[in-house]
Amino acid sequence: MALFNRNKGGLPYEIVREGEETILKINCENLTTVPSIEDNPSLMAFTIDRLIENRATTKIVFIQKRDYEYDYAQTRLLMEIAVIYNKLVKQKDVFSYEAIRVKTPPRYVDRIYNQIHHLIFDVLKRDPLTCFVELRRLLRHERILLETESGDSVKAHKLYVKLLTYLLEELDKTRLITIAKPFLAGLKPFDRSVYSKIFSPTIKPDFMFTKLMATYPKNST
């Protein structure tokens, strides 16, 4: 039973109840590549957005002549990221420009805000592993600056260390980061090779497509 059907970002999707399952089905027929969470950052972000809207989802299915099914365990990995993203974007008292401005010397505000904003709003949904790796890199850098600099910069570095530590602790709670950690050493930004070690859909025939092709006249031109 389809609960609802929508079209956002050019990809039609529906939430379907099948027995105990709540399935997010995304129609990917218009994609020029095989639909894949592990290979496609835009599709990962789109899927996470749909999970934010539909927290009861237990399975993800991409439809493109075949069905690419991500089971409950894989769906929960993305759901945890969806929950964290949704939580962070609501914390305006922590991450908004104004929240940072009132706690930081003026010349540091833009840098802190822009870097945090980029990682949360631009990177997290598309590539949570890169987000985590970059947060760790920034934290190491800020801790060095905190130990070596003086004056009003200390206040800025302390705030930034606090924000970065909080974000890392939130991501560190997720199963995705736990599974990926052994593979993160030396990972370059936006390298998606680790996702292929974690996500692997079951590929099944799309029976509606198969039925349609079976009825198509073989000798038609």
**In a domain? residue 27:** yes
95 with 170, same domain: the answer is yes
102 with 138, same domain: the answer is yes
**In a domain? residue 63:** yes
**In a domain? residue 152:** yes
Count of domains for the chain: 2
| pLDDT at site 151 | 85
By residue range, what is the domain housing residue 139? Answer: 91-179
| pLDDT at site 150 | 85
Band (pLDDT 50/70/90 cuts) for residue 123 is very high
For 80-101, write each residue's pLDDT tens digit: 999 999 999 999 999 999 999 9
The beta strand positions in 77-183, using DSSP E, are none
Average pLDDT of the chain, as a whole number = 91
Name the strands in the sheet holding 21-27, side by side, starting at the edge strand that comes first in the sequence: 2-8, 11-18, 21-27, 59-64, 66-70, 202-205
User: How far is the C-alpha of 221 from the C-alpha of 154, rounded, in Å?
Assistant: 74
**Using N-to-C axis directions, what is the helix angle for 72-89 and 153-172, rounded to 10°?**
150
**In a domain? residue 186:** no
51 with 122, same domain: the answer is no
Give the DSSP letter of residue 201.
P
- State the pTM of this model: 0.89
Q: Are strands 21-27 and 59-64 parallel, antiparallel or unpaired?
A: parallel
For 172-194, write each residue's pLDDT tens digit: 999 999 999 999 999 999 999 99
C-beta neighbour count of 40 within 10 angstroms = 20
